[in-house]
Amino acid sequence: MIDILRLALEEDIGPGDVTTNACVPADRQARGRFLAREPLVLAGTEILPQLYESLTLRKHDGDLCADQEVIAEVSGPARLLLTYERTALNFLQRLSGVATVARRFVDAVAGTNCKILDTRKTTPGFRTLEKAAAVAGGVTNHRMGLYDAILIKNNHISAAGGVKEAILASKSAGLPIEIEVRTRAELREALDHGAVHLLLDNLTPAEAAAWIREIGGRAKVELSGGITLDTVRPYAETGADYVSSGAITHSARAMDISFRLELV
């Protein structure tokens, strides 16, 4: 997180904030407030202590914020507050967008036994932050990257020579194994060779429900493939254990958060 914040500051400030340095006296002190400008689920507050020495958090990651509610208060040299304003807002707005979408997905499946998973469809360099924001919204993290769990997808099956070959070869890694199955024949082959976590992609809710009945509890089931807020409830009601959606991270819009500065 510190590295991505450093890069963000370097990108924005470069050799110096020429506007602020030109028109604001170096010894001027100020305070500022971060305000929600619409209802949102907050995320990204972990970057604020890295920017401001004098900081009071009024809300925390995962909290619901109402329009005009104060998120945090900061104080210090006016130049510093102005120079860091956009970087701080970029992180808060983007990550609160992820958390807000995540909460909407979670709310949409309330009352079912289905959990919502995020994906690796994240902004390059922002994965740790965006996945933390998804958790703030109530979503369960899937794997963080290619290194912490095995997910055998259709191209892996083709490259390995088949479902059986992919599963048997993967067991030696000693990591959790999930496998995508594209046909009922692949489903049966996966179960016959010990698959305990199946990914069913691009099925309709009716098709998914039929496949899940055949699985009969022999494996955990994740559904994926273009699932949106409008369709997630029918998928969750199929009996699936998990539904994953890339939209939580790749399509979340920045929330409206502002920074108000005043002199002290």
- What residues are annotated to the active site? 86, 121, 153, 180, 201
Closest to 87 in 3D by CA, of 35, 37, 47 = 47
CA distance 233 to 133: 22
Q: In sequence order, which residues have a C-beta less than 8 Å from that of residue 54 and are 6 or more positions away?
A: 74, 75, 76
In Å, how far are 4, 52, 168, 241 from 77, measured between CA atoms?
Answer: 24, 10, 61, 51
Question: What token pair was written down for 82?
Answer: 């102005």
CA distance 80 to 31: 10
Q: What is the 3-state secondary structure (H, E, C) of 103-122?
A: HHHHHHCCCCCCEEECCCCC
In the block, tokens 């997180």 appear at 1
Question: What token pair was written down for 237?
Answer: 């009601």
- Neighbouring-strand partners of residue 263: 30
In the block, tokens 């997630």 appear at 232
